[in-house]
Amino acid sequence: MLFSDTLWFSSSVLSAAATEQSDGENKAPSPRATNGQPFPWDKMRLPETVWPLHYDLFIHPNLTTLDFTGTVQIQLEVLQDTSVIILHSRDLRISKAALLESSRILPLQVLEYPEFQLVALQADGVTFTQGSKCAVYLEFAANLSESFHGFYKSTYRTSQGEVRVVASTQFEATSARGAFPCFDEPAFKANFSVRIRREARHISLSNMPKVKTVELSSGLLDDYFDMSVKMSTYLLAFIVSDFLSISKMSQHGVKISVYAVPEKIDQAEFALEAAVRLLDFYEDYFDIPYPLPKQDLAAIPDFQSGAMENWGLTTYRESSLLFDPKKSSASDKLGITMIIAHELAHQWFGNLVTMQWWNDLWLNEGFAKFMEFVSVNITNPELQVEDYFLGKCFGAMKVDSLSSSHPVSTAVENPAQIEEMFDDVSYEKGACILNMLRDYLTPEAFKIGIIRYLRRYSYQNTVNAHLWDSLTGICQSDDLDEGRLKGGFCSRGKSESAASKWFSEDELDVREMMDTWTLQEGFPLISVEVKGREVRLSQERYLKSEDPTQTSGFLWQVPLTYITSRSPTIHRFLLRTKTDVLYLPEEVEWIKFNVDMSGYYIVHYEGRGWDSIIHLLQHDHTALSRNDRASLTNNIFQLVSIGKVPLDKALDLSLYLSSETEIMPVIQGLYELVPLYKLMEKRDMEELENQMKGYIVDLFQDLIDRQTWTDDGSVSERMLRGHLLMFACVRRYPPCVRTATELFRQWKESDGNMSLPNDVSMAVFAVGARTEEGWDFLFEKYRHSLYISVKSRIKSALSISPLSHKLKWMMEQSLLGEVMKTQDLPYVVMMVSKNPKGYKHGWDFLRDNWGTLVKKFDLGSHSISNMVIGVTNQYSTREMLEEVRTFFNSLTKETGAELRCLQQSLESIEENIRWMDKNLPLLQGWLDRRGAKPGATAHTGA
């Protein structure tokens, strides 16, 4: 193993991770190379016998024959005596291998072991001796990948109908080995010198600026790129295309460019301005210069994820980068800015300082997700990003509440396990626990600690403990922060009373505290019982499973915050034990813990605690912040799931939403209430389902009626308008349907040339897509539009149509990838599966095409996980549970039998069954008492 992180076994709760590690070794009893010879290495991880120092890489892609050839010369340092060099290669045809020493060129034998994606280089009588240096030279060829990883083919169609090809890379996590033989693990950092051969009609891009172009006698051109900084293989990138670009210099002298297909380059201006602003912000915030002379942002026509942080050449989906002020919505503006902020944060977190191994992926992704909010809040205050952070925490908790969740830091070995790390736990939970720690330490102290971390470990690899150690002892002066902290955090411990149980910084072991959040899965449920001035606290793992053995042995150090009816000041209390007691200076009417949802935990108010909060919300909801109101709505419905609170009490709390106007509490209310009728849609319970739909429409009717069909207002107001009108139209609320129908008629009569308000256009399209004629018209506009944001909204509207045959056709076309992009297939499948007219088709499609899907999107990928969960997570019958389980049981290890998302899917269906069995009578009774009548609804997929 390349890392020796002793934290793995520091607690009994990690035994599951230890088991996973030993199970994941995948040791073949006696590995054999493809030629039948013994293969000299039996582990999936590379040995540490040699270390790469520098790669000279030459790549020649042919965009006509869709293949490529290449050579690589790797300078090596020998760390231990060895007779063999082991490195990675996948689906490459290696035609020549040689050892280059000062006085000779020696042919090397190549042994291949495809199961572990390894090759071995060796020669009779040759030993590489410790301390020496040498070089190996390899020639290779391969086809451009038909998937979305490695060196792959992307295509786009011009407005004249011509199909053009782009060759682009996506190497994270384990796909550099599909483009050239290399040491494809993050710890094997090296420098790269890249040369790319191309035709004159194309350009080439790589991480570094181009230093020269040489024309060959054949008419082809060789582009030579400057040597890179020391970096991991997964961050290398190159593109051959006909893209155009626009550029601008940052305040710090970095040339920033945005590249896109020629007909869309006029949609690049917004991204360029955002990137300049954000890169300047990060240089100032981290107080560490961006180390490269340029930063390119490229919009790739086919791209599986949202974006990729390749150092100096970040790549994006077109929808994640391209923006048109006349065609794009407020949601597009927020999303694009956040994605750019994420990738540019990686230039420090991930690129400059890289996790030692993929088990600590969260050190990259959790930080980048967290820094999105920090950076955009300061650089683009008008986007009001603080309204959306706690939604990330709720999303993470949804996964983290299952017994199939995993610790933030988890042992992984093979590529599928590594791919599975790119999930809500690494990203969203990682960001949420960092936000909690920042709130705990204070933003100033936290910033000093992370700057120290980045400076200490620049161009190196880290484990969890390095971060925690950098955030400990920050009041002690050193050359990184001398004079930075005056009073404030460093004096806080002295000024607080001992009764507060808030520990001063010099008493706090950050590592000990944060290990409880990263080395065990799940999160705490804090139960609060107020008796006079006494507040009794207890913690347990929040778990939706009925298995009590999976909740024992868990203990967190929880930085609690609270306010009361008598004191709006935020009080703090560090809960380090299973139970504790705090004392209030006086009795209170109510108490609210986890102020603004700054902590990654949920709270149960025992006794009359919930009653007092419900009373407060119904009579003076603005006494609490909008984040507090959203978190209360979330928490009480999560408590229903585990039997801590009856459903009717949660529904009583929801009544206050009729007075709510802020985006986060409204959206959270919809997120908790809508799934209740979505479960019923899959059970043919039309009367109760329509009663529930009617209740939700009535609850928000006043707010819906106040919405205008315009793009006026703040970003949050505009996004709320889009959500509400979309919900109302899909639920067939008559005033909404009338307006949308008329707008669609006018838009259609103008042949799509009339300008619709962007924020509400999806509601208009959704109403239009209900008819055969409207659907076909929308699809033609989808096919020919050059505006990616318009295409995205039309695609969503088409997928929630009640026209069942169209839904099947959409999935089939997305798989083919000609008129609809295959990159969008996971989204289309998920949307169709939410649609009551399409959910059976969604399951059939996933099952029937499974083999094709796992080849195209990779085992363990977020795309596969999203489809599995998205297709199944609204099932609530034992018949569907059995059908899903039978299919999953038919899979082999090679086709995904061990994927975590399969277990998560089954757990979610089991939880839905339990919920429905227990709560349907309560729901029926509550709605009857409220006099809820069936609303004007229709079977479409809201």
> Each residue of 138-177: pLDDT tens digit?
999 999 999 999 999 999 999 999 999 999 999 999 999 9
Q: What is the 3-state secondary structure (H, E, C) of 730-772?
A: HCCCHHHHHHHHHHHHHHHHCCCCCCCCHHHHHHHHHHHCCCH
Higher model confidence: residue 345 or residue 545? 345
Share the mean pLDDT of the chain. Answer: 91
How many CA atoms are closer than 13 Å to the CA of 478, on its beta-carbon side?
14
- The SS3 call for residue 941 is coil
CB 505 within 8 A of CB 496: no
CB 136 within 8 A of CB 100: yes
Spot the catalytic one: 318, 343, 521, 911: 343
CB 58 within 8 A of CB 140: no
pLDDT at position 548: 66
Average pLDDT over residues 205-228: 97
- pLDDT tens across 28-78, in order? 468 999 999 999 999 999 999 999 999 999 999 999 999 999 999 999 999
Q: How far apart are CA 133 and CA 289, in angstroms?
A: 32
How many CA atoms are closer than 13 Å to the CA of 857, on its beta-carbon side?
28
> Which candidate, 781, 778, 838, 843, places its Cα nearest to that of 808?
838
Q: How far apart are CA 438 and CA 709, in angstroms?
A: 40
- The SS3 call for residue 443 is helix
Task: Enumerate the H helices of 707-733 as residue ranges.
Answer: 715-730
Average pLDDT over residues 85-99: 97
- The SS3 call for residue 320 is helix
pLDDT at position 554: 94
Does 502 score more than 80 pLDDT?
no
Q: What is the largest CA-CA distance in the chain?
A: 92
Main-chain phi, psi angles of 873, to 5 degrees: -75, 0
* Residue 101 binned pLDDT confidence (cut-offs 50, 70, 90): confident
* Residue 858 binned pLDDT confidence (cut-offs 50, 70, 90): confident
Strand order in the sheet with 238-241: 150-157, 163-170, 238-241, 203-206
Q: How far apart are CA 678 and CA 669, in angstroms?
A: 15
Does 641 score more than 60 pLDDT?
yes
Does 934 score more than 70 pLDDT?
no
Question: Quick one: how far is CA 394 from the chain centroid?
Answer: 14
Locate 379 and state its tokens. Answer: 């650089």
pLDDT at position 4: 27
Question: Do the annotations mark residue 346 as ligand-binding?
Answer: yes
Average pLDDT over residues 391-399: 95
Cα-Cα-Cα-Cα dihedral sign, residues 478, 480, 484, 490 = negative
Q: Which residue has the tokens 């970003």?
A: 715
Task: Enumerate the H helices of 346-388 as residue ranges.
Answer: 362-379
| Residue 306 per-residue DSSP state | S
> Which candidate, 91, 104, 176, places its Cα nearest to that of 140?
91
- The SS3 call for residue 602 is strand
**Strand 460-462 relative to strand 203-206: parallel, antiparallel, unpaired?**
unpaired
Locate 464 and state its tokens. Answer: 């969890």
Locate 730 and state its tokens. Answer: 């899909």
Question: For this structure, is 343 an active site residue?
Answer: yes
Bond from prior residue into 187 cis (ω within 30 degrees of 0): no
Q: How far apart are CA 868 and CA 564, in angstroms?
A: 43
Question: Quick one: how far is CA 618 from the chain centroid?
Answer: 36
User: What region does 751 belong to: left with phi over 0, alpha with psi -120 to 50, or beta?
Assistant: left
Strand partners, 104: 101
pLDDT at position 473: 80
Q: How far apart are CA 740 and CA 726, in angstroms?
A: 10
Locate 565 and state its tokens. Answer: 């009816």
Q: How far apart are CA 90 and CA 116, in angstroms?
A: 9
> Which candidate, 370, 357, 275, places its Cα nearest to that of 323?
275
* Residue 890 binned pLDDT confidence (cut-offs 50, 70, 90): very high
CB 242 within 8 A of CB 262: yes
Q: How far apart are CA 420 and CA 424, in angstroms?
A: 10
Rg (CA), the chain: 28
Strand partners, 72: 57, 138
Average pLDDT over residues 87-91: 97
Higher model confidence: residue 225 or residue 305? 225
CB 722 within 8 A of CB 763: yes
Does 805 score more than 80 pLDDT?
yes
Question: Do the annotations mark residue 615 as ligand-binding?
Answer: no
Does 495 score more than 50 pLDDT?
no
